[in-house]
Amino acid sequence: MTLELRNVVKRIGAEVHIHETSVAFESDGFNILLGTTLAGKTSLMQLMAGLQRPTSGEIWFDGRDVTRVSVQKRNVSMVHQQFINYPNFSVFDNIASPLRVGRVGRAEIKRRVGEVAEMLRLSAMLDRKPNELSGGQQQRIALARALVKDADLILLDEPLANLDYKLREELRDELPRLFKDRGCTVVYATTEPTEALLLGGHTATLHEGRITQFGPTAEVYRRPGGLRTARVFSDPPINTARVTKKGNRFTLNDRVGWNAEDQHAGLPDGTYIMGIRPHHVTPHGTGPGKVELEGTVLVTELSGSESIVHFDIDGQTWISQSHGIHPFEIGSVARFSMDIGRSKLFDLDDKLVAA
Amino acid sequence: MTNKIAYPKAWLFVLPVVALVAFNALIPLMTVVNYSVQETFGNNVFFWEGVRWFEEVLNSERFHASLGRQLTFTGIILSIEIPLGIAIALTMPTRGFWASVCLVLMALPLLIPWNVVGAMWNIFALPEIGLLGQIINGMGIDYNFTQQPIAAWFTTILMDVWHWTSLVVLLAYAGLQSIPDAYYQAAKIDGASGWAVFRYIQLPKMKRVLTIAILLRFMDSFMIYTEPFVLTGGGPGNTTTFLSIDLVKIALGQFDLGPAAAMSLIYFMIVLLLCWVFYTLMMRDEEP
Amino acid sequence: MAKISLQDLRHSYLADPKGDEDWALKHMNVEWSDGGAYALLGPSGCGKTTLLSIISGLLTPTEGRVLFDGAEVTDIPPDRRNIAQVFQFPVVYDTMKVYDNLAFPLRNRGMAEAELDKKVREIAAMLDLEDTLKKRASGLTADGKQKISLGRGLVRSDVNAILFDEPLTVIDPHLKWILRSKLKELHQRIGTTMIYVTHDQTEALTFADQVVVMHEGTVVQIGTPVDLFERPKHTFVGHFIGSPGMNVLPCTLDGEMPYFDGVPVPIEHPAPGNGGAERLEIGVRPEFVSFADTGIPVEIVRLSDVGRYQIVDVRHGEHVIKLLVPEGAELPSESAHIRFDPAYTRVYADGWIMG
């Protein structure tokens, strides 16, 4: 069941919240909306659900124009960031509520609620109240309510954001399994690139109300069509720098330069913006990188298994992420190498020219 | 959340209310407007007068006098009830059994019918048989609210404070409850004095609630009728004749419907104007 | 700056605690040395915020003593303990300008204007707040307001410790990054004792020199990020730290050699006899599991591409084991063998590390 947005625009007052957007979401796998907090993910989801009407454009679902259909008539479920449950209903009643509104028979309700509760490991708590349970369990109730309706379109708006990071990991592992084989279209909004990569499927990167790219997640990650997409899809933030190409050589500044690799060799001479992700910039000698950089260390962050070093070159901050513990002193001069083959080149309009 | 999707059946829910409001409010309002521009001597005979009544009212000394009294009264009321209400709210317990007890006690004065309030205070303040009257006279002060203007004002104000401060208390209390603990904790850590906590944390966070409280008290006190009427009847003489009391005297006592109607409209406009000005000032730098 | 000691500490929120579950903090003795950067890490409800409140003085412990530099402060209120606290959501005095917010604690302590002006400007420069000094505090973004909260703690030079209660919760993810490294930088420059409460392991491990891992009111382990990563003392620590967490598999001991499902798992530091433990387990992190020609036979079940590495789920019987494979590496076909790195494989008896 395809969810299509055709030339959808959303304006509130003088502000454009969603610029003209056309995209189609399929029901095979997760469709992820990736972007920073005010990028427009929630606005877009509300348009898809029918909670807001687009200022112009159409929304089509399963071959039908649903733009003017009210949200109650669309077969859609939504799960929000805040665990939203009816506080004075038991867990069972909470999960059953969409079925009761739809006037499903009692025996049928019992069966379906039981099934979904089993899937989400809530069977033991069906007669408790939501606020007696932990955050993770409350969110599972909300998920159960969304699933029991067997809707054709399920919208998940950063559902794991308010949970402990470990709990988030566990639930995230379970989500694909829950939605497999249901034949519904799932749209999932998140701010974290790692989450998008782990959930797989297709990703649409959002920036300031525009979808900058849409495609299979791994592809959008590895071949971002533009610098904005690359920035949205990087955590830690991608390193960018201006480089100049002359003949066969690229130069970053008067100290750093390298010969153009095959795929970059054919480009016209000029100025480009190079983007290289932090894990391709490693302390000298530790990784496959060959192009050397020298900078003054600003901060070293050591987690148990990796080191993230912020260093400064000519007033610009670079970030290196590597395996192992590399404790550099603040203020010391350190050497790093870039794996140039993994860098991406963008022209001055932020469009990808070579990956 | 603008731009909600239209749900046609919603109108069915609203229709009864719309009809009721139309019948009870709009139609009488239109009638008043009708009267205000005409002259009648009864028997449904009307003569067009145009703005004559408005001019007459606006220029009458009587109107100026009662307007003056009204503004003074409202001013005094607000300057007592608002700070007193906040002060009481600050001292009320926030949790536990006593919190509920206090809330109920605070709510009690608001539940009494207004004419009963007036009657209560009337008897309470009578110089010979009222408890208050006896106490004040016993202290050596010559007190008789039926004959002395100052005593009448004093008693009226006291009655209103007793009756309505609770409203401010309850609103301020609700506002205070919504302040997260972390603010008090941070202030403690910053070494802030109690006064600083009030000025920089509590008062700003109560701003919205206080605006509502002030607006409500302003409107109600500006239109006050029942309690002072039962208490003093507008006397002695006309010293406690506030705007609405005066209006009723003209309309029903003298049966001058034209000027009365004009006066009500002017009255209405004043209230509306002052409320609007006040609300705009208070909400000037708030986000929507 | 002070050394902080917690002696025989126990706390319950109930008036009459009976069983173990009634105690929010179980019996503990902890020392925080002067000038260290500590993190209190644990899932929701583990007691970390309670512990922080006891250190700051906002809460008086049911039992035990709190000492600053040997002097007992258990009953002394927060403003006399000379600590600063940054809360989960920004606490600023809305009606004051940024400058006055920062000056507030100093004015309350009677400092002269000329002197405090210098201090306020110094701290504002450190936190990049200089341009906003004349603005009203209510107009700043969430991260700006958190910086003001932090600044109010830093302006006081007599501060013994700065306590952070999940301070990055309301910050945008892409700004979290900047603020996090800023905190680390600040600690390295100022050297005040800092205690940081969080449920996010990345925040904890990158910020702290020593991490205190808590679970259900007990301190499970205190150690450097490397310690916690390479030698978790309890399977909970192994599971909670690391994304994904440690693989925990049941095993048997034959003499000193652990066996997983009949396959020997050589470890570098053999464990002494199991001393009658009920449950024996092997713990090994996905980072230290690799494909090999011989070893434990498995089949590949799932592959997740996280960008800089891939997480591979393999199955042996009813157990799922995760391992990490570098970006772009080749994977064997459906069935393969895996081996555990002996230097980082540990044996656990009833959850606690052996040897």
Q: How many CB atoms lie within 10 A of CB C311?
A: 18
Neighboring chain A residues of B5 at a CB cutoff of 8 Å:
50-53, 70-71
Backbone region of residue B96 per phi and psi (left: phi > 0; alpha: psi in -120 to 50; beta: other values) = left
What does the longest C-alpha to C-alpha distance in chain C come to?
Answer: 76
| β-strands C335-340, C296-305 pairing | antiparallel
pLDDT of residue B2: 43
Which residue in C87, C98, C135, C170 has the most chain B C-beta atoms within 10 A of its own C-beta, making it the best mutation to test that interface? C87
pLDDT, tens digit (0-9, with 9 covering 90-100), for B149-190: 888 999 999 999 999 999 999 999 999 988 888 888 888 888
Residues of A near B (Cβ–Cβ under 8 Å) read: 12, 50-53, 70-71
Query: In the predicted model, is pLDDT for residue C15 greater than 80?
Result: no
* Pairing outcome for strands A306-313 and A291-302: antiparallel
Task: Give the end of a domain, one of C221, C236, C251.
Answer: C236
> Could you give the CA distance from residue C23 to residue C51 in angstroms, rounded to a whole number?
12
CATH of the domain at C12: 3.40.50.300
Same domain, C191 and C258: no
User: Looking at C236, C268, C303, which one is the last position of a domain?
Assistant: C236
From the list A151, A193, A152, A154, the residue with the least C-alpha distance to A176 is: A154
Q: Which two tokens stand for residue B11?
A: 């109108």
CB C206 within 8 A of CB A325: no
d(CA C179, CA C127): 9
Residues C88 and C110 both lie in one domain: yes
The boundaries of the domain holding residue C46 are 4-236
pLDDT band of residue C273 (cuts 50, 70, 90) is low
Instruction: Give the 3-state secondary structure of B161-219.
Output: HHHHHHHHHHHHHHHHHCCCHHHHHHHHHCCCCHHHHHHHHHHHHCHHHHHHHHHHHHH
Shortest CB distance from A221 goes to which of C184, C206, C307?
A: C307
Sequence-separated (6 or more) residues with CB below 8 Å from residue B168: B81, B82, B84, B85, B86, B89, B213, B217
Computed over its alpha carbons, how large is the radius of gyration of chain C?
Answer: 24
List the one residue out of C312, C343, C342 whose CA is nearest residue C325: C312
Query: Does C287 have pLDDT greater than 70?
Result: yes
Q: State how far the Cα of B252 lies from the Cα of B275, in Å rounded to an integer.
A: 28
Domains annotated on chain A, with CATH: 3-232 (3.40.50.300), 239-354 (2.40.50.140)
Q: Are strands A15-25 and A64-65 parallel, antiparallel or unpaired?
A: unpaired
| pTM of the predicted protein model | 0.77
A150, exposed or middle or buried, with CB in 10 Å at 0-12, 13-18, 19+?
Answer: middle
What gap in Å lies between CA A254 and CA C198, rounded to an integer?
Answer: 44
Task: Give me the interface pTM, i.e. the ipTM.
Answer: 0.80
Count of beta carbons in the 10 Å neighbourhood of residue C337: 17
Residues 140-199 of A with CB under 8 A from C: 164-167, 169, 191-194, 197-198
Those residues whose C-beta lies under 8 Å from the C-beta of residue B159, and which sit 6 or more positions away, are B117, B118, B121, B227, B231
Among the partner-chain residues C58, C108, C149, the one whose CB lies closest to the CB of B191 is: C108
Residue ranges of chain B whose CB lies within 8 Å of a chain A CB? 2-5, 7
The length of chain B in residues reads: 288
The reply to whether residue C307 touches residue A194, judged by beta carbons under 8 angstroms, is yes
DSSP secondary structure string for all residues of A137-186: HHHHHHHHHHHHTT-SEEEEESTTTTS-HHHHHHHHHHHHHHHTTS--EE
Enter the tokens of residue C156.
Answer: 């006081």
Report which residue type is found at A323: H
Do C177 and C141 belong together in one domain? yes
pLDDT digits (tens, 9 = 90+) for C299-336: 888 888 888 888 899 998 888 999 998 887 788 876 78
Which of A348-352's residues contact partners 24+ apart within 8 Å by CB, and which partners?
A348/A271, A348/A272, A348/A273, A350/A226, A350/A227, A350/A228, A350/A273, A351/A225, A351/A226, A351/A227, A352/A223, A352/A224, A352/A225, A352/A226, A352/A227
Average pLDDT score, chain A = 86
Question: Pick from A12, A52, A70: which is nearest to B7 by CB?
Answer: A70
pLDDT, mean over chain C = 85
Contact A277, A238 (CB under 8 A): yes
- Residues from chain B that touch A71, judged by Cβ atoms under 8 A, are 5
Instruction: Verify whether the Cβ–Cβ distance A53 to B7 is below 8 Å.
Output: no
Chain-chain contact of C89 with B182 (C-beta, under 8 angstroms): yes
What mean pLDDT comes out for the span B22-46? 80
For residues C143 and C272, membership in a common domain is answered with no
Closest CA relative to residue A55, chosen from A162, A195, A209: A209
Give the C-alpha separation, A114 to A98, whole Å.
14
Sign of CA dihedral C12, C13, C15, C19: negative
Are A155 and A79 in contact, with CB atoms under 8 Å apart? yes
Minimal-distance CA residue of chain B relative to A10: B3
Compute the radius of gyration of chain A from its Cα atoms: 24
> How would residue C275 be classed by pLDDT, with cut points 50, 70 and 90?
low
CB atoms within 10 A of CB A167: 19
How far is the CA of C280 from the CAs of C101, C246, C254, C286, C349, in angstroms? 56, 15, 12, 19, 5
Closest by CA to A82, choosing from A130, A129, A47, A30, is A130
Residue C311's domain is classified under what CATH number? 2.40.50.140
Tally of domains within chain C = 2
Helix C142-154 to helix B181-189 angle (10° resolution) is 30
Looking at C211, C236, C261, the residue that finishes a domain is: C236
A51, A73, A74, best to mutate vs chain B, most B CBs in 10 Å: A51
Place of tokens 């009264």: B73
Share of chain A above pLDDT 90, in %: 8
Cα–Cα–Cα angle for B132, B135, B141, nearest 5°? 105
Residue pLDDT, tens place only, B105-117? 999 999 999 989 9
Q: Do A299 and C185 touch (CB under 8 A)?
A: yes
Taking only Cα atoms into account, the Rg of chain B, rounded to an integer number of angstroms, comes to 23
Least confident of A93-102, B33-42, B124-133: B33-42
CA distance C87 to B196: 20
Any chain C CB within 8 A of the CB of A134? yes
Task: State the pLDDT confidence band at B1, using cuts at 50, 70 and 90.
Answer: very low
Q: Which residues of chain A have pLDDT under 50?
A: none
C87 inside 8 A of chain B by CB: yes
Other Cβ atoms within 10 Å of B189 Cβ, number: 28
Mean pLDDT of all residues in C212-231: 89
C144 with C40, same domain: the answer is yes
Q: Which chains touch C (3 or more CB pairs under 8 A)?
A: A, B
pLDDT of residue A202: 93
C47 in helix, strand or coil? coil
Q: What angle do CA C175, C176, C177 make, to 5 degrees?
A: 85
Query: Min CA distance, B204 vs chain A (Å)?
Result: 27
> With contact defined as beta carbons under 8 Å apart, do C110 and C132 qualify?
no
Can you give the pLDDT at residue B85?
Answer: 94
In order, the DSSP letters of A310-326 are EEEETTEEEEEEEES--
Q: What is the pLDDT of residue B258?
A: 81
Using alpha carbons only, what angle is made at residue C270 by residues C268 and C272, rounded to the nearest 5 degrees? 165
- Give the residue from A198, A225, A222, A160 showing the smallest Cα distance to A30: A198
Residues B4-23: pLDDT tens digits? 555 667 788 888 888 888 88
C68 and C150 in a common domain: yes
pLDDT of residue A314: 87
Residues C39, C101, single domain; the answer is: yes
What tokens does C10 get? 């126990």
The identity of residue A338, as a single letter, is M
C229 and C126 fall within a common domain: yes
Distance CA A206, CA A34 (A): 6
The CATH-assigned architecture of domain B61-282 is Orthogonal Bundle (1.10)
Q: How far is CA B168 from CA B92, B93, B113, B205, B210, in A?
A: 13, 16, 18, 15, 8
SS3 state of residue B220: helix
Q: Does residue A294 contact residue A335 with C-beta atoms inside 8 Å? A: yes
CB A133 within 8 A of CB C208: no
User: Can you tell me the distance from the alpha carbon of A110 to that of A114, in angstroms, rounded to the nearest whole number?
Assistant: 6
Q: Which residues contact A157 (CB under 8 A, 6 or more apart)?
A: A41, A42, A45, A78, A79, A80, A81, A189
Give φ, ψ of B130 to 5 degrees.
Answer: -80, 145
Hunting for tokens 């491990």 — which residue is that? C205
